[in-house]
Structure 1
Amino acid sequence: MKKLGFLFLLLLGIFSTSCIPHKDTLYFVNKANALDSLQTIKEMQKPYRVQINDILTIRVKALDQDNVRILNPIDSPNLNMTSGEKSYYDGFTVDAHGNIRMPTLGYINVLGYTTEEVEELLEEKLLEEQFKETANIFVTVKLAGMRFTVMGEVGSPGTKTLFQEQVNVFEAIANSGEIPVTGNKKEVLIIRQYPQGQKIHHIDLNDVAVMQSPYYYIQPNDIIYVPPLKQKSLGTGETLMQNVATVATLLSLVTTSILLINRL
């Protein structure tokens, strides 16, 4: 009986250490004396610069709209198309050389420009080549949505598109079904595209200082990966009560097996 009690205590100790600590399930833990987050976030909000494979939506307006009709997309008769699908077909994709190809203007290099700089560039080219100042040319350029992919321990993994100028990592994850208890918030990976290739960045969503990170705001085509905690791979419970129940089941199985063996 003493051996049985010792076995019970041993199993209970092993499984209790496999519980997921409450602090690891939280966001915004103040692990140090954080700086003024409001000021830091403002510093992080640098304008995005156009990269290869981005899709730009471009609209040109003038006093006589018929003169710029060729530069604007034609309304699709397919009412079942989503906003993302319309942007894909009507937008201008940045090719491998950083160029977009526009009617009457030809190829224009926009790699590394902000959307505001692209607007100024297009207005200048239109005024130089086709229109006069009296035409009152007005160009708007936007990214065709913030497209990103979330993988791993989230409720709804997959590729998402949000139609807004900026998206932080918490908004991206919230739109992907949230991170379950078994997700490792401390070791989230951001896989980001650069002109020279892809790089992997680590961020800790458990720490409030994540708002100071240059990767707090995601960029188009980012891949966000949330790895599982080791408790999931071990197959243990997420809470102490779940582990106690598992221990009780195992102990009952062991006890029954011992009794049956002794009767033989």
Structure 2
Amino acid sequence: MKRLLFILLATGLFFSSCRTNKDLVYLSNTTDDELLEGIPAKTAEYIIKTNDNLYVDIQSMSPEVNAMFNPTQAAGATGGTSQNYGQPSSQYLNGFHVDLVGNIKLPVIGDVAVAGMTLNNARNAIQLRADEYLKDATVKVKLLSFKITVLGEVKSPGVYYNYNNNMTVLDGISMASGVTDYGRIQKVLVLRPTDKGSKTFRLDLSNKKFLSSDAFFLQPNDVVYVEPDKYKNVKLNSPLYSLFLSTLSTLILVLNIL
């Protein structure tokens, strides 16, 4: 009876730590040919903040004049823009940092206030200043410091950079090579820094409702954390449990024989 009791205990422990197929499927409550109108919502335009790093390109018809307004690109002419901005370290050195006052300092033009603006509005502001010096100037402004951190039960945790206009939480997890066998997609935390402090969002990626969350589209400096399954410790220690139960069962058998 004691041996039977231990066998039943081990069996119950095994099955209680198992997960159903529903626990592993993203958007499991969607149906075929379902139209999710208005979901996801349109991503909000990013507002430039202090300490952001921007790519600014001012071009005219004259290569000599371009070299004056873009000295960093001119200095790296042999390697082109990819050499100057291909790596995060190069972006940090060659981008234009938004200082604590909210300005960037551009060659020839000088200080331009950009904090609190969208990227498009910042481009317009720089365009107005460039038009004072150049005729038919073309201005481009991009955000270089769009990075996120993905932690927890993902296969490749780390810091990832985004070079598109938007990025979703699914993109972020995909960059980290997806969740591990212990990842709990029903418990995903997004931590977002704001002017008033850090704001948290709890997402259930198995439920389509997360598509309408404000955290579906990630913002620069967001942290995505995938929580572990609540039975992770049981699964990791299952060989020890099996060894313990086997030893105990053998010991009981020996005692019964004696």
TM-score (normalised: structure 2): 0.85
Any idea what SS the aligned residue of 2:140 has?
A: strand
Contact kept, 8 Å, 1:54 with 1:93, in 2: the verdict is: yes
RMSD: 2.8
The residue that corresponds to 2:101 in the other structure is: 97
Contact kept, 8 Å, 1:148 with 1:221, in 2: the verdict is: yes
Q: Quick one: distance in 2 between partners of 1:115 and 1:253?
A: 66
Q: Quick one: distance in 1 between partners of 2:55 and 2:163?
A: 12
Q: Deviations over 1:199-232 (max 9, x none)?
A: 2221111212221111111111111111111111
Any idea what SS the aligned residue of 1:185 has?
A: strand
The residue that corresponds to 2:51 in the other structure is: 53
| Aligned ranges 1:119-198 → 2 under 5 Å | 119-127=123-131, 129-131=132-134, 135-144=135-144, 146-198=146-198
The change in CA–CA distance for 1:97 and 1:148 in structure 2 (over 3 A counts) is same
Contact kept, 8 Å, 2:119 with 2:142, in 1: the verdict is: yes
- Structure 1 vs Structure 2: percent identity of aligned residues? 28
The change in CA–CA distance for 1:103 and 1:80 in structure 2 (over 3 A counts) is closer
The residue that corresponds to 1:240 in the other structure is: none
Structure 1: gaps (5+ residues):
238-242
The residue that corresponds to 2:22 in the other structure is: 23
Q: Deviations over 1:1-38 (max 9, x none)?
A: x2322331233123311222321111112179xx8435
TM-score (normalised: structure 1): 0.83
Structure 2: gaps (5+ residues):
none
Q: Paired residue for 1:260, among 242, 254, 257?
A: 254
The change in CA–CA distance for 1:14 and 1:188 in structure 2 (over 3 A counts) is same
Q: CA deviation at 1:246?
A: 7.8
Q: Paired residue for 1:67, among 54, 65, 68?
A: 65
Q: CA deviation at 1:251?
A: 4.2
Q: Quick one: distance in 2 between partners of 1:81 and 1:50?
A: 19
The change in CA–CA distance for 1:81 and 1:61 in structure 2 (over 3 A counts) is closer
Whether 1:110 aligns to 2:122 is: no
Q: CA deviation at 1:250?
A: 4.8
The change in CA–CA distance for 1:253 and 1:31 in structure 2 (over 3 A counts) is farther
Q: Quick one: distance in 1 between partners of 2:99 and 2:255?
A: 73
Q: Deviations over 1:115-153 (max 9, x none)?
A: 1111111011222x434xxx1011000111631111111
Name the structure, 1 or 2, with higher relative contact order (CA <8 Å, separation 6+): 1
The change in CA–CA distance for 1:149 and 1:103 in structure 2 (over 3 A counts) is same
Structure 1 letter corresponding to 2:170: F
For these two proteins, the number of residue pairs brought into alignment is 252
Structure 2 letter corresponding to 1:25: L
